[in-house]
Structure 1
């Protein structure tokens, strides 16, 4: 199907060029450029920087094969700053000049076979947002030459190929959104050492061991969901993501037991590792996540007691533990069930509705279950009134 679409796009582009030609192969190739040159002769720009990008925009416009909202209908004349999706400002190196500073194509539904020769040639661009279009191809290595680009959003498109390593050389980048594309392969670990605030790479085809990519980072919002990351959640996660507010790992292939160090993610508000292959009990240390509002471990193979200390977290608005194998929930947790905060359906908890059948539960526990460092699961790395006396002892990470 992709090959058919590609051939169709190619036919449309060639037909467009032939219609404008005056004869011969040479005219097919030269006519669009000559037309742009003729236009430039009759146009006046408020700044030479805009005159430089004008041919780039026109060339890109000629590659667009579908524009259902007639966005490009406004891309006419010398007033580039009034084009839909284009925004002008003063460049950092000349506050009296006017240049094309940002592009916002979000939701335009434009179709083009590539951004090469356009995006990577805009010298003063600081922001590029192109969510929900039909752009395809790969990302040019020349994008690393854009010195001011700090927000790069190409989410919900049709880009393919491996992770574009040129992004690693973008020193100003703080926002990277590559969600909902067709990127595949592995992610260079250097990505996590960049000074990124936001990293969204969910809904691609990345496949890699999670422990191989996490590194010391400043990321506030991290979304790795809906890929094929595998392996256990590393004990070093608290070191690498100590300041991260949202961690989304759902719908991957993560396995192994939950590390005690999850309770050291002191700034985490949302932690979602639903629909993986995780097993073992929930560490009591997670009761120390004082900022946590949403925790999701639904759709795994966790078991044991739902820790009361976790249910007692003051800011908790949603605790999803459905579709696991927990066997007990105490009074505090049952209070959250009544409030609709805690979901423990499809577990093995006697006396609660919507649980697994006895056959399912017996079959699960018939196989030996074991996690390393089991003695660590009842340790608390913080002081919590009413709980410290009932637990083994207060302690830092016991390793």
Structure 2
């Protein structure tokens, strides 16, 4: 009898172990019943292959990646693709999942490039390594790519330059280095976020070709001047951040053509010269930051009269004069002009420091251009404020571009 009981228990134990093995097998193999479409079968294989590379999954996202219905997997979106009329994976949203790979490696290759019907790929705050793999740009309906706050590295990922349908490109908070290709400004994007990398050399002269509304160059190692071509983006550029680079030289007067811009920030660079009088044509600007540079001369009264100006930051420069309109803004807390050379105002540099700064000759290459006021050509009215009233009247929402300066998702 005892032998019979032992045999029965052994049989039960064997059955439990076999069932456990089957359940484990189901986690990586397709279950009976097939797939809703061949394209979903392909997506299943791609996802399971990627899953095998993940070692760290603190939110246990991959626990849902079981079975044939990949459309129920957390992080994936499905829809019918129009040209094949089949259901497929069209979106990946890994924002904040904190995925990490084996041996601190989690490449995008074999994953993003193999999901053929992608419309968007959002992967903020993970630990992807390497670069954007070849084949990614071939996706027919690929509109949004967000790889921000990962561990991508190497030269600028030129694969994205062939993604002709992109409208949103976010590469911030990675370790991309070297220069930015001039053709990046030919991308038909609305958003171009490149901040917080190790990009260097000069900003390409093709900058003005971009149709982007929001651009961030901040916290890189760009040098040289701001390209004069920026003025060509007069009807499209809303917000641009150049802060915390190594930019030098004088501001081009063409910046004054940016009649749609609401945010312009060049703080913490090595820029110099007077403020171009064309800045008085920035009729929609709300936030203008030139702090921590080497600007000098008088602050144009027309800048202090900009109709939508909410904050003008000129601190830590070498300005020598402000007129009545600018002084009104100082009293209102709109204009920050601390640590300049306006000696009748409080919190300025010492007279000795100012004398030392101006003891060296300073001149911009084309100083006459700094007196050009382009909006006068666009209007025959007697005052600039009347000319500016023709622009958009609704105040822009809270600036989007400054939110890119923190790593998390927008």
Q: TM-score range by the shorter chain?
A: 0.7 to 0.9
Is 1:238 paired with 2:227? no
Match of 1:78 in 2: 68
- Contact kept, 8 Å, 2:28 with 2:66, in 1: the verdict is no
Corresponding position of 2:262: 269
Q: Is the 8 A contact 2:182 2:204 kept in 1?
A: no
Does 1 or 2 have the higher relative contact order (CA < 8 Å, sep 6+)? 2
User: Aligned with 1:275: secondary structure?
Assistant: coil
- Aligned mates of 1:118, 1:378 — CA distance in 2: 54
> Is the counterpart of residue 149 in structure 1 residue 142 in structure 2?
yes
Of 92, 95, 104, the residue aligned with 2:82 is 92
SS in 1 for 2:58: coil
Task: Summarize the alignment of residues 169-188 of structure 1 with structure 2, pairs less than 5 Å apart.
Answer: 169-188=162-181
3-state DSSP class of the match of 1:119?
Answer: coil
Q: Which residue of 1 aligns with 2:369?
A: 376
Q: Which residue of 2 aligns with 1:326?
A: 319
Q: Which of 86, 90, 111 pairs up with 1:101?
A: 90
Deviation string 1:226-251 (CA, Å, 9 cap, x unpaired) is: 11111112222212565211111111
In our comparison, the structure showing a higher alpha carbon Rg is: 2
Residues of 2 paired with 1:385 and 1:327: CA distance?
29
Deviates more, 1:209-218 or 1:74-83: 209-218
Q: Is residue 251–residue 275 contact of structure 1 (8 Å, CA) maintained in 2? A: yes
3-state SS of 2:207 partner: coil
CA contact (8 A) 2:339 2:349 kept: yes
Matched residue count: 355
- Matches of 1:37 and 1:211 in 2, distance apart? 49
Q: Give 1:132 shift.
A: 0.9
Matched, 1:110 2:133: no
* TM-score, with length taken from structure 2: 0.82
Which of residues 114, 134, 142 is equivalent to 2:127? 134
Displacement, 1:180? Answer: 0.4
CA distance in 2, matches of 1:371, 1:58: 60
SS at match of 2:90: strand
SS in 2 for 1:303: strand
Q: 1:280-299 alignment to 2 at 5 Å? A: 280-299=273-292
Report the aligned-residue RMSD: 2.1
Map of 1:18 onto structure 2: none
Distance (whole Å) between structure 1 residues aligned to residue 75 and residue 227 of structure 2? 42
Listed as ranges, the gaps of 5+ residues in structure 1 are: 1-33, 389-399
CA contact (8 A) 2:175 2:197 kept: yes
